[in-house]
Structures are given as C-alpha cells and as structure tokens.
A and B are shown apart, each in its own frame.
Chain A
C-alpha cells in the first residue's frame, strides 16, 4: 500500500517537473505557428500558419545566412576540436608525462575564467587581425571554449577502457597510432560521438562571443534572435519561429546522444 503510494507520488513529481521544464518550449512551438494578432493571447484556439517561417527566411531577417553561419561554425569547430581532443585525451589517459596532473588542471582551469573577462581582449585581438565579423574568428573562439571540455570528457571515456586490448595489439605488432586507430577509436566511438554532439550543442548555443565578435556577416542563430527585438516591439511569433529553427537540430541531437550515451556508459572491454 505504502509502496504503491510512493510510486504514484514519484510519477506525479516527474510529470510536474516535466510540465514545468517543457512548458516554455511547448509555448514557443505554439507561438511559432501563430499569427501576430494571436501571439499575445493565451488561448490555444488559433488558426496555425507557416507564414512566420517564410518571413524569417526572407528579407530583412535572412535567417538562412544565420543558419549557414551556425552550421559552419559548429561543424568546423567539432571537426577540429574532436580529433585534437581525442589525441590529447588519449595522451592524458595513457602516458605518464612529467607534470601530467598539472597540465590537465591547466587545461581545465581555462573553464574557470568567466567569458566576460576575456571577451574584450578577444575583440581587440580579432580587430588587429581584421577577423572581426568572420566565421573564422568564431571558430577560433569556440575551439578555445570547447576543446578543454571535450578533452576532459573523452578522457573519461578512454580511462574506462581497459589497457589489456591495447597492450595485446601492441604485442600483436601494432604501432601506437595503429593501436589508436584499430582498437581505441572503435572502442571509444560511442563516447567520442557523445562528446562531438555535446561539443556541437555548446558551439551552436554560444551567445556572448558571437554577439560581440559578429556584426552582419557572421551572425549566428542565437545572436540573430536578438534582432527580433525591434523598435516596433518584440516580434514574438518570428522570434519563436527562429527559436524552433535553433531548437530542432539540438532536439534531434539530444535524441541521438541519449541512445549513444547509454551505450557509451555500458560498452567497454570484455572481461
């Protein structure tokens, strides 16, 4: 009886939390399909329209170019950060280098610095390099933010792989790089994929640096959202439509990450 009650209590709590968390997102989705006159009404009774999506992709909003910027910046960042971080993580995990702990701490410590502190130096640096308002600048900044995090994450996955298989491969005749290619990467793949998606999401959502370092050409989606605050007021229905465009890819990735995350956690060598 008591147990039964507790189970129902747990369920009710879960539902409550889900509602609280999901409500703003659900409301954004609804608003994205509303006409401007419905945007401020609390009624669920409205005629849905796709006009908002058409509007945000056409002049003057041009969400398309922002999508391209976001996709490019996030993809290139992942493509550079993850291979580098994988090798770094492997080294941190497997090699006894003098000062390894200190180095690892140093890499992590970059995460302790508030972004606001370094955004101005970055701005000045990129101005001298004439890289302001370019995707290159955003990629460089995002790499700096994301790489330590990904190293830290992938190291966790590699640490969990027993060294037996690697040693066996070395004795079977594989060089260190061959071991990484044939043994470590396939075994760490779920973890690396998880980290890649994480890295993509972080970069995709990055706001502060993109806001300061871009003006017109390199504006990314999160920054683009701000442009819907106009002198005519906040265009909620357009902002929501753009919000949906930002959210959907991440939703898809979150679904992927969920599947692979559990795999990443439960995989590992055969004992």
Chain B
C-alpha cells in the first residue's frame, strides 16, 4: 500500500506533447480512475507510473521514494492489461505463478498461493488449461489473479473490462470493486467508460488532450462539472447543452427561457441533465418545441424535443406517449441543478438551483 505522487511530470514524443506538465497525488488506498476519450493521455500517464514509458521531465514517487529510474520490475506494482497480456505458452497455473517465481518464492508456498488466488477468482478448475482455451471473462480473471497473487504497492488497470461483453463487464466491475475493498491496495484505473469511472472510483481524474481537467469524487464531478467538456462527457444520455444569453435573470435561447441567478451576459451555455427535466403540460413551460423522438429504455422513456436547431433530451415516465412532431414542453424539475458555462472558455460559471 502506498501513496503515488506525480510531480510536474511531462511526456513528449519528439515534438509531440502527449502529457503536458502536471502533478497528481494518488492517496494511499485510493481507487483513482483516469477517465477520458481515446488519445487523451490517460494510458500514457499510467504507463509512466508503471515504468513502461520514460517520463520526459518531473518525478514519480511511490511511498515517498523517487522511482523515475527504476525499471518496472523494481517498482512493486501489478498491472492488468486491456488485452490481458497473458503468457500464451504457459498454463493458467504457470501464468499466475510467474510473479512469485520471479521473486524466488519456494515451490510449496507458490502452489498454495496460486490455489488460493484461483479459488478467489473462481478459476480453480481451469488451472491446467492454456489461455487460448479460456473465454474472455476467464482470461480476464487469470490476469486479475496474476496481479493479486503477490501484494504489490499499487495496482494499475488499463481498460481491463473493455474486451468483455456488456453483461460480464457489469459483473466484473462489481468484483473489482469488492476486491479493492478487500485488499485496500492503491489502484489506478484507466477507462473511457464514464459508467465504470462513476461506479468504481474514489476519485475521478477527467483528462483531455493530456491534461487533467477535473479531479474530484464521482458525485462532485456529476453534480458540478468544472467545464463544458466534463459536462458533456459525464452522464448518459449526456447533459443538454444549449447556447444562449442571460438577460434580466433569465437564460434565453430559441424556444428556451430558464430563470437563472447570473448577471446579464452574452455567450453563455446552459446545461441541464435529462433526468432533471420533466414533461410539462402547457406552453408556459421553460422549454417549448416539437417532439422529435421517443425511446423507451424500460424504466423510463427518453423524450427528445426539437426547438429551432437545438435538440434537448428529457427522461420521462415509461408510459409517456405522444405523436412525433406534436408540440412538446419541458421544464426543469423543482430543485433541478442548472449548470452555466462560459461559451468562450468553456469554464463553469456559478451554478444555481431552479
């Protein structure tokens, strides 16, 4: 167990700046998720911690020790790879045993430990198979068992669930969360899936173009996105974002009027989550337009409304029905969180409640 500190780290590939200078501290025992679209530098950041990429400048410390120049094998970390990184020529047993073997653990202790780990991830019966004879989920478990077979200071997980089917992903997610709770090892987890980030993380670092744009608890990131990028990235369906202006305490755009507590200002973007909009009965509502689409998701219906050039989405009751192109009205629920952003900088302006 250990705290990880990235101090002013920077990564360049020739002239290309992959990760601009920044610092990040990962607390002891924390589950930190690096979240962002592909190519945002999250995997590079993780690989720098692992020692698989050199850092161009800055320092990496694990448990207070500077480890910049240490090879991966001396960093006392374990990693789960997106493609699992299993050893195809070894059996499941040999795969899980390998880290112990490298550390000179004696045969009897190894066998015992491998059996324990295999049982923990429910692979006990498959120990003598080769990875090619396993399903995706089973391979994932082998990779996991190999990572936890010795107790490292840090776990690194690089999109470990992205090759699994949707159902298995949800199951494995819960298992990962439970495992972290049980072992309490500092974990860094890379994903582009905001749902994984929200469900697993103690804290989420949202990254964009190599930079961490917001670092906070999942709750805070959802409730108070720091900028337009985070607002649009977190949440499914994503937050409705509409360009407009604030006049006399009222945000105005075509077909939209929402009272806000902000001084008059041009170039404002309003953000309202679909789950914080409700369907209103008449034209006195805040948002007026025509019904564009209805999508039943099971527990609710996603109502898409078109107002001028803008599309807005609301989460309505499952039994809501109306003909397409019929006039439709939406209004923020009482107590709904209205987010306001500056168009030019994308930064959050003071938010307000309706």
Contacts and interface: CB of A to CB of B under 8 A. Distances in A.
Interface of A: 162, 164-165, 167-175, 178, 182-183, 186-187, 267-271
7 contacts: A165-B86, A167-B79, A168-B86, A168-B146, A175-B71, A269-B86, A270-B139
Interface centre among B51, B75, B87, B139 (most CB of A within 10 A): B87
B89 A173 contact: no
Given A164-B81, A270-B131, A270-B139, A171 B72 contact: yes
Interface string B98-140: 1100110000000000000000000000000001100000010
Contacts of A172: 73, 78, 98-99, 102, 146
A168 B47 CA distance: 11
B79 A178 contact: no
Interface string B295-320: 00000000000000000000000000
A169 B143 CA distance: 12
Contacts of A169: 87, 98
B52 interface: yes
A222 B87 CA distance: 44
Contacts of B99: 172-173
Given A170-B52, A171-B79, A175-B73, A187 B85 contact: no
Contacts of A268: 88
Given A174-B102, A187-B89, A270-B86, A168 B73 contact: no
B79 A168 contact: yes
A171 B77 contact: yes
Contacts of A267: 88
A170 B71 contact: yes
A263 B70 CA distance: 37
A169 B99 CA distance: 8
Interface in B24-65: 50-52
Contact of B88 (A170, A174, A182, A187): A187
Contacts, number: 73
B233 interface: no
Contacts of B85: 164-165, 167-168
A8 B77 CA distance: 61
Contacts of A182: 87, 98
Contact of B83 (A162, A171, A174): A162
B84 interface: yes
Interface centre among A162, A168, A175, A182 (most CB of B within 10 A): A168
Interface residues of B, number: 29
Interface of B: 50-52, 71-73, 75, 77-79, 81, 83-89, 98-99, 102-103, 131-132, 139, 143, 146, 156, 163
B73 A164 contact: no
Main secondary structure of the interface of B (DSSP, over half): mixed
A165 B98 contact: no
Contacts of B72: 167, 170-171
Nearest to B130: A270
Contacts of B83: 162, 164, 269, 271
Nearest 10 pairs of A and B residues by beta carbon: A168-B85, A164-B85, A173-B102, A172-B99, A270-B131, A170-B72, A186-B89, A173-B73, A270-B88, A171-B79
B291 to A, nearest CB: 45
A54 B144 CA distance: 65
Contacts of B132: 270
Contacts of B143: 168
Nearest to B81: A164
Contacts of B79: 167-168, 171
A175 B102 CA distance: 9
Given A174-B73, A270-B84, 12 more contacts: A165-B85, A167-B50, A167-B72, A167-B85, A170-B52, A170-B72, A170-B73, A172-B78, A173-B99, A175-B71, A187-B88, A270-B88
B102 A167 contact: no
A171 to B, nearest CB: 5
B71 to A, nearest CB: 7
Nearest to A179: B73
A164 B88 CA distance: 11
Contacts of A167: 50, 52, 72, 79, 81, 85
A164 B84 CA distance: 8
B78 A178 contact: no
A144 B132 CA distance: 39
A165 B73 contact: no
